[in-house]
Chain A
Amino acid sequence: MRGFRSYLRRESRAWRVASSSGFAALGLALALLLVATPAAAQTGTVQGTIVAAGSGLGISGAQVSIVGTDIGTATGRDGSFVLLNVPAGQHTVRAVAIGFKVGTLQLAVQGGQVTQADLRLTRSVLELDAVVVTGTAGQARVREVGNTIGQIDLQATVKDPPQNVDQLLQARVPGLQVMQSNGNAGAGASIRLRGPVSTSQSNQPIIYIDGVRVRSEGYRRNGPPNGIDFIGRSGNIQSSPLNDINPADIERIEVIKGSAASTLYGTEAAAGVIQIFTKKGARGGAPQWTAQVDQGFARTLPFGTAGDDFVRLAPPDNSVGFCPDKVAEGLAQFEAGGTLPDLSTTINGVGAPACSWLRNGWRQKYSGSVSGGVGDFQYFLAGGYEDNEGTLPMDQEQKVTTRGNFTFSILDNLRVDWNTSFTNFDVFNTPAGNNAQGLTLNAFRAERNYRQSNNPYVIDSLLNQEITTEINRFISGGTVYYTPVSWFSNRVTIGWDQAQQENRNLRPFGFVSAPEGRLFDEQISFTTLTFDYVGNVDYRASDEFNGTFSFGGQSITTEENRIFGWGRGFPGPGAPTVTNAATFISQEDRIRVVNAGFFFQNVFKFRDRWFLTGGIRVDGNSAFGSDLGLQAYPKASLSYVISDESFWPASLGEVKLRGALGWSGRAPGAFDAVRTWEAVPFAGDPAFVPDNPGNPEIGPERTREIEFGLDAALVNSRVSVEFTWYNQKTTDALFSVRQAPSNGILTSRTANVGAIRNAGIEASVNAAIIDSPNWGFDLGTNVYTNKSLVLDLGEAVPFGAGGGWVEEGFPVMGADGLVIKNPNQVAEPDSLCIVGVDPCNASGNYIFGPQQPEIIWGINGTVRFPKGITLSARGEYQGGAWIFDSAADNALSRSVIWPLCANAEAILAGGGTVDQFTARERVECQTPISSRADDALWFPQDFFKLRDITLTIPFGTLIPRTQSATLSLSAQNFVRWINSDLRMFDPEMSSRNSLDEQNREISEHIPPPAVFTASLRITF
């Protein structure tokens, strides 16, 4: 992703942060306000133009600022700018723009006068003077940072209209893996950075938005918990909090991938950090309005077998129409005295609908914003609405987003940013996944489903359910930047992320399998509070040697309060509440976790090309055991801009060498430290049953990462190269130490006993192959590899986790099962796992490999045509991972005539015998089915998907009274290649809680659809 940077902030080197909690935050903010100094009285105006060296064309959107002040603005379309109220005196004007080196100009401003300042910027790919924030103590220039930071600048690099943030992140940053869980409405994606760092805790990276920590774990799946009613009774999807953010509000994203970079985030950052920066207004700028309209549709592509493209959800030709419509028409015809039209057919001899349960889902999105500035006040206001139909009959998403970002430059040395957003997200789901009363499961299993029929009139009765999820998300946070003296700066951030989720799941009175009716309603409140302080002291020892000492503190409090009611037995039809039920129960859970700590860091800077950073973060966490003290995480990094040396030939371009070593952690679960009993009801009385065995010594997992790499811009900055080698080792890994059941404790004890490793490389090359005023061709590629390995189990015995197996010498949570070495031979299956020859685990099972990809390869390209028309494409390959076909397992074990057994069925139907079956068919298709068939359903999940291909056509000012207009035509996920060994389904149709889990498991879902979008964006 290197090559396109966003220069956003003025270079006040000084503001940095620290933290604490609650009222301390307010107190500190007030303290900073009280000590601020008044502004100067004598001011002048600076105006000028920022142009590209060589072409002389004005650069639009360049950030121009007066160094050492809070004065700045963005250039207009012609590169011009005006800075008002600049204090009289000597100043440095600084201009930064995407794709260019920083430009500076010394000038003298006189009170009441206009001073001209024109700058010519030269192209830069590395953008070593761009400012990054994430993982640094406040902020730092790219040249100072010893670790890699992935960046996504939306204006520069994102051509397609992203459907959501998950999709926005896909295939853009090496080391960032985004796996869409399935194609159902509301489904989020799992995000992994540099492999699995934990077997027991979440591997989702933590998320910040404008410095405010927000929820990163998935929302709760809509469905009663196990023990109340069968857990599968819903759409079986998990939504991602990331997708509450409107991509149109995002300016750029920073991604730091491992502990070497995330040390300053401490105990919860081992899985990496993603920080999103939203847009701001330009100081003194006139209001700029934007409006965007997206229209499109989603279409499910075939995911079945030959002749059964949609696994009995739809016939291959789909000539009859949409099943819900046809069923309604048929029933109306029948009630009018006519005959009931036959909507059934057969596919490969198995009952199937003649109509289709899949549709083309209409997607529409409208968003708008206005940004600008008045004096010392800047604003960005935005709103959006989208309404997306899914391809399943009841699937729909409706989302309203609003945002207000404000900047107050109260004084020369005091600035306040305050950002607030609100999102309302409604999801309507079709019963799907591993849901016995779901559409997909029963369609897949045809006549041997839970309704014993695949007749659309029968299956349609399953749609008489309501599965709705409403999420209201409010995020508000502010940052105070205060620089009392030029060498000492402060930054204080406070933030509040509040999400209210309501899951409602109704099987109404008269529902086919629960005629008495059932209702589940769940209300969950997720709260994340941030307090963060950083102080920076700049010092200078000589002209060549200087540095910055930083200190700070941070407190993150997360809280999840949940209450639900579940009832069954309604007196009759109608819209019930839980209270109307003959029997109802409720449940309440409350979990609060506090993580707080402080840090110190020092950056030594030599000749502005050597940068040595050392620091330490010290943390406490409410989930730590009572016997454990504070935890310290050190870090060190070195950055060397070797191309700034005089001996470096200019022809070799810009090169930065870097290396970093750091630790960060992952906290245990909220209750892991304490031995507890669960109070449960029993026959009307309270009862205590064993809960958690407890571990008073429990602490965080500690991940140490070392990385080395380089960033280079070659061939006159037309080729950028980034390479990173990394090696992570997680010690004190929290493993589930199984207890001997004969001792009476069934729950595994979570203990810091293990060690795991992730290692690999990240590399990217981006080249401007053709770069002329009218024509251009940019081509980029990146590759990420990761090998995970269990190094040590400690006192734990090998155990299952995340759907896989944890044992020394094997991939973390590796796919373990029954190998069939001769799958296509007409012979008995050769399934012997030979110790010493095959990768056999302690249970004698075969370890196929990891469940997470070992290689991700991305490719992107953009062709620029005259008139600014571009055609861009972006694809990714993920390989080396294995996935379990749970949908097939569930069906085969119930004697369902499965599409993959069509050949075996034909043999038997023709009078043949099992002796004519292949080895795999003998495991999967014979009767009675092998008791170990469920172990054999692991398959490689290698795939390539063209994530998007987009044609962008700028209209300029063709539309009256507009500054610009751009039409984009985009297709996403419509070209795919999937390893044929998987035989059917798609790796991206996984199970119910897939955001937070490591396992890859195909469930009774549909894959993410291809999405076709036309988008018109207007600026005026």
Chain B
Amino acid sequence: MVDDTRERTRAMHASMRRNVVPALSAGLIALVAACDTSVTNPGPTPDDFLNNPDAFAAVVAGARRTLSDALNTDRGAFTLYWSAAVTFEINPAGSTGSFGIPVDVQSGSVDAGTSNAPWGTANEARFVAEDAIRRFNEIGASNALLAEVSLFAGYANRLLGETFCQAVIPPPDGGFGSPSPHTDYFTRAEAHFASAVTLGTGDIQTAARAGLASVRASLGNWGGAASEAALVPDGFVFQAAYSDQDQNQFNALVWANGDAPYRAHTEWGTFAEAYSFFLEPNDSRINIILPGPGDPQTGDAGVAKFGGQVPWHRQDKYPETSSGVNLSSGWEMRLIEAEAALAGGNAGPAVDLMNIRRADLGLALYDNTVSVDSAYSLLKLERQLELWLENRRMGDLRRWINAGTPGVVTDGLYVDNDGPDGVSSLDGSTDDDGLTESGPVETMTNPVARALCFPLSANEIDTNPNVS
């Protein structure tokens, strides 16, 4: 019995040595191998990599790109596009969703939900530029790079200040910011532009001076604005760049009207069209194209507000999806100087400054003996024409109203009251309804007060405990 047991035990041990041990070993090897889960996926760049000075140029390019995106791309926001619709620089021609004008914007208001993309991407542009300044200061970067990224930080803050009703600036040590007056962005922009003026050279420095002048104007510092503006030559232009290589980089105002398939907005019924067709056909600042015989004649869908489809008249200030948008220009500087003069009660010098541009365009010069109030009306018209479709109008209207600036504005809906077929001729004639065609049928205040700024976004309200 004992021998049998020993024999069985020996046989079992032999079996284990021969069969079980190798199988168990193989299993254990498999278990150990199973624990290796390390993977490096190419593509996204870890944050630490941006601390390499060789990457700084791309960091600066990122600041510039996010600024362009925040202003006017599909990747970013349609801030320029929608603010143009609120201020009647364009009218809706169909789509409301993709590349279209939302219903609230069509009616002249901007819901907090609609504000999500404009608010978010403008803050992203500010963050990217200011984070780059922080990174460059910590690691050390050239003055040229610091100047350039400071310039974009300035423009990003100016975009926020000119577009939104309030500011929310996060504390330097993290956490959530609290609502404050929108002019806080101008103050912040002023510091960035000033830094860029100090550190930069050439076009960067000139653009920074122009930016500095514009935000000082918004802050009512007319002396400081005029002094910087005076250093910017007439023909200087600094633009937000766009590209036709990728839809993400397209000028969205163009793409939304590119007839492929979108014909989402129109110049039909705008002051710009009335001005261009009837008041001053020779002003090259306003470019509008009417459809040819073979082209679609109307927008891409019905517009509820107009009860159907409306004529499709395209802006041609930006002919290509790669057309840049002015962030600053010398001609804007002349108008800042003119407005500074008006702020000092000097109508004649102000009109003379406006006439520099009109002479350059070959237009009739304004009478420089007009009153200050009349000169303000001319200034408001000139800024409307000079800065057409540059996302500046809403900010202008707000600061003029806030400051109680004299003069009239012409923003509105200029259509024949008979329906979507006619354009107001502004000639004082009587239309089929017996109404005089000499002004807009809607204005920024009639029948409803239209928005002068975008509200804080729904996302900000939802996520920031300091905002309600």
Q: A residues near B, CB below 8 A? A: 18-22, 24-25, 27-28, 31-32, 34-35, 37, 226-230, 232, 436-437, 445, 448-450, 452, 482, 484-485, 488, 490, 492, 513-514, 531, 533, 535, 551-555, 583, 585, 588-598, 620-622, 624, 630, 670-671, 674-692, 694, 738-746, 797-799, 842-843, 890, 893-896, 927-929, 931
Contacts and interface: CB of A to CB of B under 8 A. Distances in A.
Nearest 5 pairs of A and B residues by beta carbon: A744-B127, A895-B302, A484-B19, A20-B33, A687-B61
B463 A740 contact: yes
Interface stretch (B20-28, B230-238, B393-401): B20-28
Given A37-B19, A450-B300, A677-B44, A742 B168 contact: yes
B58 A687 contact: yes
Nearest to B98: A230
A428 to B, nearest CB: 23
A894 B41 contact: no
Interface string B35-48: 11111011111110
Given A551-B27, A738-B463, A896-B302, A592 B34 contact: no
6 contacts: A19-B31, A445-B301, A449-B301, A682-B243, A739-B463, A746-B120
The listed residue with most A CB atoms (<10 A of its CB), out of B32, B131, B260, is B260
Contacts of B447: none
Given A20-B31, A32-B23, A676 B44 contact: yes
Contact of B74 (A227, A452, A739): A227
Contact of B61 (A686, A742, A890): A686
B459 A27 contact: no
B357 interface: no
Interface in B111-141: 111, 116, 119-121, 123-124, 126-128, 130-131
The listed residue with most A CB atoms (<10 A of its CB), out of B49, B61, B176, is B61
- Contact size range, B: 35 or more
A442 to B, nearest CB: 10
B159 to A, nearest CB: 13
B95 interface: yes
A294 B355 CA distance: 83
B303 interface: yes
A85 to B, nearest CB: 22
A742 B182 CA distance: 13
B27 A895 contact: no
A744 B94 contact: no
Given A592-B41, A687-B65, A798-B462, A675 B96 contact: no
Interface stretch (B245-253, B277-285, B332-340, B374-382): B245-253
B247 A227 contact: yes
The listed residue with most A CB atoms (<10 A of its CB), out of B37, B103, B124, is B37
A35 B15 CA distance: 10
B43 A589 contact: yes
Interface in B169-193: 169-170, 176-177
A17 to B, nearest CB: 10
Interface in B441-464: 457-460, 462-464
Interface of B: 15-16, 18-20, 22-27, 29-39, 41-47, 49-50, 55, 57-59, 61-62, 64-66, 68-69, 74-75, 94-99, 102-104, 106-107, 111, 116, 119-121, 123-124, 126-128, 130-131, 168-170, 176-177, 241, 243-249, 259-262, 296, 298, 300-305, 307-309, 457-460, 462-464
B24 A535 contact: yes
A535 B30 CA distance: 11
The listed residue with most A CB atoms (<10 A of its CB), out of B124, B176, B249, B305, is B124
A681 B245 contact: yes
Contacts of B74: 226-227
A452 B308 CA distance: 11
A484 B20 CA distance: 7
Given A229-B247, A514-B260, A893-B103, 11 more contacts: A32-B26, A513-B260, A535-B24, A622-B39, A630-B35, A682-B249, A692-B44, A740-B460, A740-B464, A745-B124, A895-B304
Given A590-B42, A685-B58, A531 B20 contact: no
Contacts of A484: 15, 18-20, 23
A35 B23 contact: yes
A589 B246 CA distance: 17
B459 A738 contact: yes
Given A31-B26, A598-B31, A682-B243, A738 B462 contact: yes
A693 to B, nearest CB: 10
Given A452-B309, A742-B123, A620 B296 contact: no
A920 to B, nearest CB: 17
A15 to B, nearest CB: 11
Given A676-B47, A895-B304, A671 B35 contact: no
A233 to B, nearest CB: 10
Contacts of A482: 23
A1005 B127 CA distance: 42
Given A448-B301, A595-B37, A674-B44, A31 B25 contact: yes
A168 B385 CA distance: 66
A683 B460 CA distance: 31
Contacts of A674: 44, 46
Contact of A533 (B15, B27, B301): B27
A490 B244 CA distance: 60
B103 A929 contact: yes
A552 B247 contact: no
The listed residue with most A CB atoms (<10 A of its CB), out of B96, B106, B296, B305, is B96
Given A20-B32, A227-B74, A683-B243, A552 B103 contact: no
A566 B23 CA distance: 53
B372 to A, nearest CB: 39
Contacts of B107: 928, 931
Contact of B26 (A28, A488, A691): A28
A743 B174 CA distance: 8
Contacts of B99: 230
Given A676-B47, A740-B463, A931 B104 contact: yes
Given A484-B23, A596-B37, A679-B58, A894 B29 contact: no
A53 B99 CA distance: 73
Contacts of A28: 26-27, 29-30
A234 B257 CA distance: 21
B46 A742 contact: no
A700 to B, nearest CB: 12
Contacts of B111: 931
B26 A448 contact: no
B62 A688 contact: yes
Contact of A593 (B39, B59, B116): B39
Contact of B36 (A594, A670, A683, A685): A594
Contact of A688 (B38, B55, B462): B55
Contacts of B262: 436
Nearest to A554: B34
B30 A34 contact: no
B128 A689 contact: yes
Contacts of B120: 741, 746
A227 B62 contact: no
Contacts of A671: 41, 44
Given A513-B259, A677-B62, A744 B44 contact: no
The listed residue with most A CB atoms (<10 A of its CB), out of B30, B64, B261, B262, is B30
B35 A680 contact: no
Nearest to B68: A682
Contacts of A585: 245-246
Nearest to B241: A683
Contacts of B36: 21, 594, 596
Nearest to B456: A742
Contacts of A684: 243
B41 A895 contact: no
A743 B170 contact: yes
A746 B309 contact: no
A637 B460 CA distance: 47
Given A230-B98, A535-B27, A742-B168, A596 B309 contact: no
